[in-house]
Amino acid sequence: MELNGNATLGRSQVFPLENYKKGARVWHRHPELVWIAGELEHEVTFATRIVRIRLEDDEIVEYTISSPNQLPFLRNPSILVGKDDLTSLSYLHEPAVLHNLQVRFIEREAIYTYCGIVLVAINPYAECPHLYGEEVIQAFYDLVEFKKCQSIIVSGESGAGKTVSAKFVMKYFASIAGHRDGSAGVEDRVLATNPIMEAIGNAKTIRNDNSSRFGKFIQINFDERFTISGAEMKTYLLEKSRLVFQAPQERNYHIFYQICAARDHQLLSDFSLGPPEAYWYTAQGGESKIPGVDDRADFLETVKALSLLGFDDVKQREVFRILKGILLLGNVDFRSQGDRSSISPMNDMEIEQLCDDYKIDEQELRLWLTVREIRAAGETVRKGLEPREAIRSRDALAKLLYAQLFSWFVDRINDALQEKGKKTLNRRSFIGVLDIYGFETFETNSFEQFCINYANEKLQQHFNQHVFKLEQEEYEREELSWVRIDFYDNQPTIDLIEGRPGLIDYLNEQCKVVNGSDSGWLNQMTTCTALKKNTNLQMPRIKSAKFIVKHFAADVTYTIDGFTEKNKDAVSKQLLELFSLTKFSLLREILGSAVVFEETLPGKMAVKKTVAGQFRDSLRDLMEVLCTTRPHYVRCIKPNDLKERFYFEPKRTIQQLRACGVLETLRISAEGFPTRWSYEEFSRRYRVLYPEGKALWRDKPRMFAEKSCLKCLEEGKYALGKSKIFFRTGQLAIMERIRLETLSASAVRIQSTWRGFVARRKYLLMRRSLLTIQAACRAFLAVRRLHYLQMHRAAITIQTAYRRYVCESRYRKLRCSIVALQAQYRAAKVRAYVEKLRYEKSAIVIQKYWRGYLQRRAGIQPFGRPEREPKIPSQIESRSVNHLQKLNSGLENKIIDLQMKLDVVTAERNRLSPLESQLEKMRVEIAALEAERSEWKIAARKVEELGMEVERLETECDVKEAQKGELETRIHELNCRLDQNKAESSSKINALMDELSTTSQNATTFESDLKRMRTALAAGWYHILKSRRRIIFFKFLLETERRSIVEHEMGLMREQLLQNANLLASPHFSRVGSMRSEQERPPLSLLSADGRSISLSGGSADFDEIALILRQQQMINDLRIRSEQYQRENERLRNVIDASSLIDSVEKRTSLRSFETHKLQELEAAYSRLKSELERLVAEKADGGLENMNVKLLIDRIMEDNDRHREESAELRAMLSSRFER
């Protein structure tokens, strides 16, 4: 929509540059939000041409200033945002108005806002608890108080809520001025008109589901007791074209869809109605249903309202029959038949039903729907209509029928609303409610928009004159000098439309001419000299069937197509005559007025008024009625096109504010003194601006206001009235800014004084408390230290006694074990020696007998018996062999006995030897485990001691933290005291030096604590490592002893086996075998313990002796293998024990390390904070001059000491880390 130069409010206002300082709150244009808030990045001067503005979304834009009146709009103070009256704003311009409405609507959900005498009502698209606006309530009380008729003018575009607002007005009057006894009266009938008029006059459009397609003025009459005595309704410009044409997604009037939805109702059951899709007049828009609307339920409500207004069932059924006939008429279609048209055979049923319902001649209807009769020069000629002309004639008839039915309804409703037997106050006590369409502009604007905008021009003129009159009355009442107010006068636009010559005048002329057309009307406008000079009428640069009218809201381009036809509203005379002869009484009644216009008088032609002429006359009557009343204006605003609940679109809203005259109202107010305060309110709020007056603001508020304004404002920017003080635009913002600056300075002064008092009191209280706490803490720490030393000494005594006991027990167990081992070893050694002696003795006996035998045998042969006769050699040989065998068998038996005894002894020894070794090992292991257990108990006690030491260190660290917090508190208090005044700097410096000395002591204490912690940790680790080293050393001794014992036993066994082998291999212990066996048995060899080879000849021992040696050798290998297995098992157990001890030590070291790391991090963080505070303090006090130099040097020295302490703590942490890694 293209707007004229008056669209933007406030551009002519120039404010002082002192308001445009850095940080000033301004408005900036935005493509979507229309206006967006921002702040100036720098001050504006006379030389400034480009201003940088930081918007509320943090975007920085540049704004070009070409002239003083192009400065950015200033924002109102926060106290004024959300005011219920827009004229009370200090800055009256477009962004301020838009923002105030948005805040009230979105944040406070307030749909009503005053704009002077105008009530702005924003459609919330939701149910609200507060239905009645203040304007409605005020209208009734003005009627009672001033005894003057009132009028409420409700306007706005489609979907803005005009109809709902008008219904709320009527509900309010019906509830407050109805019958006191609760009985049904005229107020109920007044409310009953709403569903009826909505059914026959409202329809669904693209913008609104319940759009009123007519204007109405309801006059509610009151009696002497100010109760409703009757009502009267007048309608304006019903949109008849909607009956025959609907745009996509739109509907016809609601009543048609209601009767189709309730076609099974008892009133409609005889009509054989179909669904809305079955009729052309209800199916064009493609929207037969409205979401959330029940047409059948609405029909029942309409029937109920008709019954309440006195329409009986017969009359209602006749009305619905007329409506059904209109639907049937719309289904009549035409086809071309030569130079004329004819009704399609498919519509014969519709024609028959229509004629049957309307009781008219079917043949006549068929004829005059397709034929037109022309009378000229006393002759009558019939001309066939083309299909397009026939459709136009059919639609004109349907529009006439519906318009007459609509007018009949209004007349009958007015008759029903008249209360018989009651008299009003001279018939002049009434309240009128005007519900009329607002300013409209579309892409294609036709005759309807022309009439609607013409009506809004008349209403806007009345509004401007009324506002101007009220402003002048206010100034006169307050005894102010004359204030000239210039307002936009739209009289030239009204003269262009209704004057002579004018647009309506030329349009009526074209309707009277036989061949009048839209193009002829446009030619008249373009050739008229008077219209050419009128600046409010413009023609397009490119010649087309359009013209432009400059309305008060915007420039509107009208398309001339259809203007003359809609203005004539002509119907075929023959069709009117046919319908006038109907036997349907209600149809004849409603067409009575239309037939009268077509009747001719003798010798004269009846002149029928055009639609524009009728509308002009009705507007003139309406203006006369409104001028006799006290008007109240309600401007309905549609906040969004999506019909969402409490959703605000700035673009749509600002267009309507410009179009409905709200901004013009504010502009008229801004020309004078828009801001008005009573003296009491002004004095109460701004008494801080003139403290010299003291109680003047309470005793003489007018004098106080005069002196305050004289002190703060320029002359001419305010005016003192009789009971109020008046301000020009923007002056209240200046007063508010000065007030805030004064309050801010006073608040700072009060805060500084109070903070000083509170800080001093808090410091003294904290000082006393800290001294008490320090004394208690020192006593507690001393007592705890004493207890610790006592516990430490007792623990050392207990540990000494326990260690002595453990060592003695260990020594006794070890001594008993060693004595037992020695006894066993000596016994085994004696037994082995005795066994050896027994074996040697046995061997000597055997050898003795054997040598004796050999000697006797050798001695007998030389001195034997005399020779006998020689025997047979074979006998001799067998005898000697037998003897040797006997001797050998005896020896063998002895050897076997000896060997068996040896085997028994060896087996017993072998059986006992592993058991003894296992027993010894178990004893050694038990002793070792006992020793380790003792060591672990010692280590556990050491860990507990270290834990106690850690707790003590934690406590000391907490104390240090508390001292650090005290130091921070003292530093803060010192800052506060230094900020109070410079005179107390010396005492504060002394306090600071005391605090710094305390800090130095704390640092020294921290250093000593750190050293003590390092010593304790080092001692703890030393004891743990020493214990582990002792455990490993004892394990090594036990393992060495165990290994020496095993090796010693193996050596003894090896020596014994070697002796047995030597014994068996000796030449005295071998037997003489046969030559065959000596030759068959090869020599054998055995290895001694020292590696020497011992040869065994085949003749010295047999295979049993060799097997014995081999078994003994195998036993030696088995013992060696078992010894190695025991060694590996011992090594595995030792590794397990070492691993478990290592894991425990690592866990302990890890926990200690994490604890120390955490404490060091906390100490470093505390040191960093203390350092930053000291640096800030030094920086603040360095500006104090030479008297603070000593303090600065002292603080530097303390900071150097703290840095050195920090380096030492870092070295300690590195040393601990290296210990942990090892």
Question: HEC string of 1012-1023?
Answer: HHHHHHHHHHHH
Please say if the pLDDT value at position 888 is more than 50.
yes
Model confidence over 266-318: pLDDT tens digits? 999 888 899 999 999 999 988 889 988 999 999 999 999 999 998 999 999 99
The residue type found at 1040 is T
- CA 805, 807, 810, 811 dihedral sign is negative
CA 279 to each of CA 350, 825, 1136: distance values in angstroms, whole numbers, following the listed order = 11, 132, 101
Tokens of 1070: 């071998």
Where is pLDDT greater, at 95 or 417?
95
Where is pLDDT greater, at 992 or 108?
108
1112/907 Cα distance (integer angstroms): 11
The residue type found at 498 is E
504/619 Cα distance (integer angstroms): 13
Q: What kind and span of H or E run contains 410?
A: helix 387-417
pLDDT score recorded for residue 1194: 57
**Which architecture characterizes domain 455-570+608-617 according to CATH?**
Up-down Bundle (1.20)
Model confidence over 438-481: pLDDT tens digits? 788 888 889 888 998 998 889 888 887 887 777 777 777 887 77
Stretch among 142-156, 162-176, 346-360, 389-403 having the lowest mean pLDDT: 142-156
DSSP helix/strand/coil, 229: strand
The proportion of the chain whose per-residue pLDDT surpasses 90, expressed as a percent, equals 20
501/506 Cα distance (integer angstroms): 7
pLDDT score recorded for residue 141: 58
Give Cα 1173 to chain centroid, integer Å: 38
HSE (side-chain half, CA atoms, 13 Å) at 875: 3
Stretch among 517-521, 667-671, 969-973, 1072-1076 having the lowest mean pLDDT: 1072-1076
What are the binding residues for ATP? 156-163
Please give the average per-residue pLDDT across 359-376, as a whole number: 86
Spatial contact of 641 and 209, defined as CB atoms under 8 Å apart: no
Residue 555 CB coordination number (10 Å): 15
Please say if the pLDDT value at position 91 is more than 70.
yes
pLDDT score recorded for residue 770: 93
Spatial contact of 340 and 385, defined as CB atoms under 8 Å apart: yes
The label of the residue with tokens 């350092």 reads: 1171
φ, ψ of residue 1059 to 5 degrees: the values are -65, -45
DSSP state letters, 118-135: EEEEE--SS--S--S-HH
CA 795 to each of CA 245, 409, 475, 946, 1012: distance values in angstroms, whole numbers, following the listed order = 110, 115, 102, 13, 19
Spatial contact of 679 and 725, defined as CB atoms under 8 Å apart: yes
888/881 Cα distance (integer angstroms): 10
Spatial contact of 540 and 424, defined as CB atoms under 8 Å apart: no
First to last CA, the chain: 86
pLDDT score recorded for residue 1084: 39
Stretch among 12-16, 237-241, 274-278, 727-731 having the lowest mean pLDDT: 12-16
The residue type found at 775 is A
pLDDT score recorded for residue 594: 66
390/411 Cα distance (integer angstroms): 32
Spatial contact of 162 and 435, defined as CB atoms under 8 Å apart: yes
Model confidence over 706-757: pLDDT tens digits? 888 888 888 878 888 888 888 877 787 788 888 888 888 899 999 999 999 9
Spatial contact of 995 and 971, defined as CB atoms under 8 Å apart: yes
**Predicted confidence band of residue 401 (pLDDT cuts 50, 70, 90):** very high
The label of the residue with tokens 């519709």 reads: 350
Phi-psi region of 559 (alpha: psi -120 to 50; beta: other; left: phi over 0): beta
Q: What is the residue extent of each domain of the chain?
A: 6-75, 455-570+608-617, 675-754, 755-820, 953-1044+1123-1141, 1151-1184
Tokens of 1065: 């291999």
Quick one: fold of 675-754? Answer: Alpha-Beta Plaits (3.30.70)
Where is pLDDT greater, at 868 or 234?
234
Please give the average per-residue pLDDT across 185-189, as a whole number: 75
The label of the residue with tokens 């030696």 reads: 1116
pLDDT winner (highest mean) among 27-31, 83-87, 483-487: 27-31
Spatial contact of 657 and 176, defined as CB atoms under 8 Å apart: no
SS (H, E, C) 887-937: HHHHHHHHHHHHHHHHHHHHHHHHHHHHHHHHHHHHHHHHHHHHHHHHHHH
Q: Which of 391, 398, 397, 393 is nearest to 334 (CA)?
A: 391
957/969 Cα distance (integer angstroms): 18
968/745 Cα distance (integer angstroms): 30
pLDDT score recorded for residue 11: 57
Residue 227 CB coordination number (10 Å): 17
Please say if the pLDDT value at position 662 is more than 90.
no
- pTM attached to this predicted model: 0.57
Q: What kind and span of H or E run contains 51?
A: strand 50-55
**Predicted confidence band of residue 783 (pLDDT cuts 50, 70, 90):** very high
pLDDT winner (highest mean) among 248-252, 487-491, 1007-1011: 248-252
HSE (side-chain half, CA atoms, 13 Å) at 1093: 6
Specify the DSSP class assigned to residue 85.
B
pLDDT score recorded for residue 1201: 64
The proportion of the chain whose per-residue pLDDT surpasses 70, expressed as a percent, equals 70
501 cis-preceded (ω within 30 degrees of 0): yes
Q: Are both 6-75 and 675-754 of the same fold?
A: no
pLDDT score recorded for residue 997: 64
pLDDT score recorded for residue 1076: 38
Please say if the pLDDT value at position 907 is more than 50.
yes
Mean pLDDT of the chain: 77
1188/1137 Cα distance (integer angstroms): 67
Q: Which of 125, 85, 77, 129 is nearest to 104 (CA)?
A: 85
1098/1102 Cα distance (integer angstroms): 7
598/571 Cα distance (integer angstroms): 10
pLDDT score recorded for residue 407: 92
Phi-psi region of 231 (alpha: psi -120 to 50; beta: other; left: phi over 0): beta
What are the binding residues? 156-163
Residue 413 CB coordination number (10 Å): 23
HSE (side-chain half, CA atoms, 13 Å) at 914: 14
4/840 Cα distance (integer angstroms): 149
Give Cα 860 to chain centroid, integer Å: 135
662/84 Cα distance (integer angstroms): 14
How many residues are recorded in the chain?
A: 1222
pLDDT score recorded for residue 1029: 59
Tokens of 600: 């001719």
CA 785 to each of CA 780, 790, 792, 942, 1159: distance values in angstroms, whole numbers, following the listed order = 8, 9, 10, 19, 21
Instruction: Give the CA radius of gyration of the chain.
Output: 63
pLDDT score recorded for residue 923: 78
Helix, strand, coil in percent for the chain, rounding step 5:
65, 10, 25
Quick one: fold of 6-75? Answer: SH3 type barrels. (2.30.30)
**Predicted confidence band of residue 320 (pLDDT cuts 50, 70, 90):** very high
**Predicted confidence band of residue 168 (pLDDT cuts 50, 70, 90):** confident
Specify the DSSP class assigned to residue 538.
E
